[in-house]
Amino acid sequence: MGGGLNATIAYAAHKLAGQRDEDRIFNPMCGSGTLLIERALMGPYDAMVGVDISADAVACARQNLQAAKKQIEVAQVDALHTGLPPRSFDLIAADLPWGDDIGNHAGNAELYPAFLQEMHRLCSKGGRLLVITHEIKLFERVLPQTSWQARELTQVYSGGHHPKIYLLTR
């Protein structure tokens, strides 16, 4: 799928977030399902679900999950309006739109603050938010206006881009 996340980066991001067998994991804007698959391959977790607003993305994720022989729920749902109760997840892992293959820069300026607010609502106390983005200036401008604390970050190379991986805590 165009704009799909590199599996090595997805794996490294999950290593950064830490593996907890009891994690309830959410992958908003799951796209082709790379973050779901790489975490599932790492070992046990309590629950895992992915959502994407695009029917094509959901179909692609389901196909990739089937190929990986992983039974993970994926649904066509807007990540900003899931209807899920507060504190539903211990780890939220997201590869946000970078504004080129998927999304655009103007749309991301509205999306990122709303995303961080909704993920804060969905994340459990002591939970983590793992974010991968190439919209670094936007993300770092928006982050101080939230209740999230940045614990760690690293920068990687992906197809001509240099996205950062952020690990945020409540």
pLDDT digits over 5-52, tens only?
A: 889 999 999 999 999 999 999 999 999 999 999 999 999 999 999 999
Question: End-to-end distance of the chain based on CA atoms, in angstroms?
Answer: 32
Report residue 54's pLDDT band, with 50, 70 and 90 as the boundaries: very high
Q: Give 49's DSSP letter.
A: E
Strands 24-28 and 89-95: parallel
In whole angstroms, give the CA distance from residue 152 to residue 69. 32
pLDDT digits (tens, 9 = 90+) for 64-120: 999 999 999 999 999 999 999 999 999 999 999 755 555 555 678 999 999 999 999
pTM above 0.85, yes or no: yes
In whole angstroms, give the CA distance from residue 39 to residue 46. 12
Give me the torsion for CA of 87, 90, 50, 110, rounded to 10°.
Answer: 60
Nearest to 134 by CA among 109, 92, 97: 97
